[in-house]
A and B are shown apart, each in its own frame.
Chain A
Amino acid sequence: MSEKKEALFSKKNRKLMTDPLDGSNPISVQVLGICSALAITVQVEQAFVMSLAVMAVLIFGNLIVSGMRNLIPSRIRIIVQLVIVAALVILVNELLKAFMPDVSEKLSVFVGLIITNCIIMGRLEAFALANKVWPSILDAIGNGLGYGWILVVIAFFRELFGSGKIFGLQIIPESFYEAGYMNNNMMILPPMALITVALIIWVQRSKNTDLIEEN
């Protein structure tokens, strides 16, 4: 074994975690996992729980798939991955139902849809199948965080402007309403989630000009 053992948090490994936060963000750059991301960003609490759920599934999925990567025949790998992910999602769903019944109610079908969340399949395919266990875990944490922060930011703006609350607490004072301020009900409706994401992308890409696409 001439290969030198890599430190747990070597520069390369740290990069695995920090890259998905900005330069290769799963939502705004890789365009993965939009499916279930937008519908649950009406309130910060839901977005937060959803991000945690996705992150948990992603970490354990990456861990298992990367651990089994030499055993899975490549012809049936999609089905194997789906079964692993589906089993993890069932666990998450049962935990949510048991400990957070009201959030679980609001998330409705979107917990189940984590199974087909493209982030998870995408990371399993692109990373866990070809890498060792530890880098895969870091990659999962990084992508989970990258997904989570976008979700929470969207939810923050939608909840703040849509109902004047954050985490269910009234933020915009009563006196504003008396002075004629009104909640923007538009923000609660689904289309505004898309437009908020577009604005985040706009800000991100005007800072990081490498990401600009061809028209």
Chain B
Amino acid sequence: MQDLVNIFVKSVFIDNMIFAYFLGMCSYLAVSKTVKTAVGLGAAVIFVLGITVPINYLLENYVLKAGALAWVPFVDLADVDLSFLSFIMFIAVIASMVQLVEMIVEKLSPALYGALGIFLPLIAVNCSILGGALFMQERQYSTIAEATAFGLGSGFGWLLAIVAIAAIREKIRYSNVPAPLRGLGITFIITGLMGIAFMSFMGIQL
């Protein structure tokens, strides 16, 4: 349990998707004009990361990794290494999961669909989702629970970042920013400063 909380906190604050790795920056910049839409997109990212990271974890450990196919009975597949296929498999899982989640949410909870609906298709090409899968592969989490904690934590960190920047951008409309920096430029600078602030979390161990 301790480990899981540790991984969660670490991926929210220290290895924050936006501030440490710049993942999902495109939608972060495009959808952060108001807090309301930012919360919607952030929630969708948590949702999708929480689902796709564990699925990709299973895929990685039981299909793709070197020797992962050893569980197949009757044929000897122990030295098959399919890891070169991981990009295409991960992106296929993500694209189809997003589609599936969209359909399920639409059926079960129209209210949630109304809130997340327009953002879900956008998410298939959000770098943070594929990034989550690739970091999970690189860091080699030992159990599926750890991978899930990482996925949810990364999503939560992303939500935190986009809501914070959206709140600042709502206010900055009233300030006198130098003309060439307006819009994109000042958003980059604020994100950089927020990144510096987030670095103070470095080294936290629970």
Q: Which of A31, A87, A213 contacts B30 (CB 8 A)?
A: A31
What sequence of 0s and 1s flags, for each residue 204-215 of chain A, a beta carbon within 8 Å of any chain B beta carbon? 111001001111
Q: How far is the CB of B184 from chain A (nearest CB, A)?
A: 6
1/0 per residue A48-82: CB within 8 Å of B?
A: 00000000000000000000000000000011001
Q: Mostly helix, strand, loop or mixed at chain B's interface?
A: helix
Contact with B along A79-118 (1 / 0, CB 8 A): 1001100110110011000000000000011001101111
Q: A113-B130, A194-B188, A194-B192 are in contact. Are A34 and B22 (CB under 8 A)?
A: yes
Closest to A198 in B: B188
B20 at the interface (CB under 8 A from A): yes
Cβ A198 vs Cβ B183 within 8 A = no
One digit per residue, 1 when the CB lies within 8 angstroms of any chain B CB and 0 when it does not, for chain A 188-204 equals 01111111011001111
Contact string against A for B residues 99-142, beta-carbon threshold 8 Å, 1 for contact and 0 otherwise: 00000000000000000000001001111111100110110000
**With a CB–CB cut-off of 8 A, which chain A residues contact B74?**
none
The answer to whether A86 and B88 have CB atoms under 8 Å apart is: yes
Q: Which residue of B lies closest to A197 (CB)?
A: B188
Q: How far is the CA of A116 from the CA of B131 in the complex (A)?
A: 9
B183 surroundings in chain A (CB, below 8 A): 213-215
Count of A-B residue pairs with CB < 8 Å: 153
Give chain B residues whose Cβ lies under 8 Å from the Cβ of A204.
180
Can you name the residue of chain A whose Cβ is closest to the Cβ of B197? Answer: A191
Q: By the criterion CB–CB under 8 Å, are B195 and A113 in contact? A: no
Query: Which of B126, B181, B182, B185 counts the most chain A CB atoms within 10 A?
Result: B185
Which of B3-11, B65-73, B171-179 lies at the binding interface?
B171-179
- In the assembled complex, B23 has its CB within 8 A of some CB on chain A: yes
B186 at the A/B interface (Cβ < 8 Å)?
Answer: yes
What residue of chain A has the Cβ atom nearest to residue B132's Cβ?
A: A109
Name the residue of chain A whose CB is nearest to the CB of B89: A86
B84 touches A212 (CB 8 A): no
Instruction: Say whether B87 contacts A109, CB under 8 Å.
Output: no
**Residues of A contacting B85 in the complex (Cβ-Cβ under 8 angstroms):** 90
State the majority secondary structure of interface residues on A.
Answer: helix
Stretch binding the partner chain, chosen from A2-10, A35-43, A137-145, A161-169: A35-43
CA distance A205 to B21 in the complex (A): 26
**With A35-B22, A79-B95 as contacts: A116 and B126 at CB distance below 8 Å:** yes
A interface bracket (residues with beta carbon within 8 Å of B) = 35 or more
Q: Is A33 an interface residue (CB 8 A)?
A: yes
Interface hits, B148-206 → A, CB 8 Å: 172-173, 177-186, 188-189, 191-196, 199
Query: By the criterion CB–CB under 8 Å, are B95 and A82 in contact?
Result: yes
Contact B199 A115 (CB under 8 A): no
Residue numbers in B under 8 Å from A86 (CB-CB): 87-88, 91-92
User: Is A113's CB under 8 angstroms from B88's CB?
Assistant: no
Q: Is the CB of B125 within 8 A of A109?
A: no
- Give min CB distance, B100 to chain A, whole Å: 13
Given contacts A86-B88, A116-B91, contact A31 B29 (CB under 8 A): yes
Interface readout for A177-197 with B: 1 if CB under 8 Å, 0 if not? 000000000000111111101
A191 touches B19 (CB 8 A): yes
Which residue among A116, A202, A205, A209 has the maximum number of chain B CB atoms within 10 Å of its CB?
A: A116
Q: How far is the CA of A213 from the CA of B183 in the complex (A)?
A: 6
B65 to chain A, nearest CB (A): 15
State the 7 A-B residue pairs at the shortest beta-carbon distance, nearest first.
A213-B183, A191-B195, A205-B180, A194-B192, A35-B127, A198-B188, A109-B134
Q: Give 6 new A-B contacts, CB below 8 A, not counting A213-B183, A215-B173.
A: A35-B25, A36-B22, A87-B88, A116-B131, A202-B185, A215-B183
